Chain A
Amino acid sequence: DAGVIQSPRHEVTEMGQEVTLRCKPISGHNSLFWYRQTMMRGLELLIYFNNNVPIDDSGMPEDRFSAKMPNASFSTLKIQPSEPRDSAVYFCASSLEGGAPYNEQFFGPGTRLTVL
């Protein structure tokens, strides 16, 4: 398996522009997570999907952020409009939840976002 795939790996944009980050989870996994990593706040869970349905979006910073999972093999995280404080590394992770609670999350390589 190719693992979790994220694109793009790097994104540089200007303040006010729309940014879309993409994720393909591992085939067969039923859960998908979006995280944000910054020096100040560490790893933060933004949103959790189970069977393509958003279960917990309490970590989404504000209305400028939105996430979708139209099918089991694809998810997007959109920021509009983007601001410099959104600069961070965004990770997507997937797992098989609902069975053993100790199933690990598998992380993608991340997207490094820089908003100028």
Chain B
Amino acid sequence: AQSVTQLGSHVSVSEGALVLLRCNYSSSVPPYLFWYVQYPNQGLQLLLKYTTGATLVKGINGFEAEFKKSETSFHLTKPTAHMSDAAEYFCAVKGSNYKLTFGKGTLLTVNP
């Protein structure tokens, strides 16, 4: 069985500040990990994914995430927040089959 916990349902940062969105997972098999972003009134769009190999994964729009097996974490970061980053972010885990398990989401607000 798999599960995802996103710490903080709402994160607020100032424009230009560091963005850190936290994700912890539970999986009985080596996981595949994803971050999706959802802009208002839109579907989910893949930001980045971890499969195997390099534990630091770079995605679109300057985001990156680091897979830490010992901490069962896959936190999402971006050095400099932009107003356009305001959206809801979902962490998801996949095991060996088709099932993608999502966290509850973190709403990111960027203040001018």
Contact = CB atoms under 8 A, between A and B. Distances in A.
Interface of A: 4, 31, 33, 42-43, 45, 48, 50, 55-56, 91, 93, 95, 97, 100-102, 104-110, 112
Given A42-B105, A104-B34, A109 B43 contact: yes
B43 A107 contact: yes
B104 A104 contact: no
B95 to A, nearest CB: 8
Interface in B65-112: 90, 94-100, 102-105
Given A4-B43, A43-B90, A105 B100 contact: yes
Chain B interface category by residue count: 20 to 34
A27 B96 CA distance: 24
A102 B49 contact: yes
Contacts of B46: 104, 106
A42 B106 CA distance: 11
B7 to A, nearest CB: 15
Interface in B18-43: 32, 34, 36, 41-43
A45 B99 contact: yes
A4 B94 CA distance: 21
Given A4-B43, A109-B43, A101 B100 contact: no
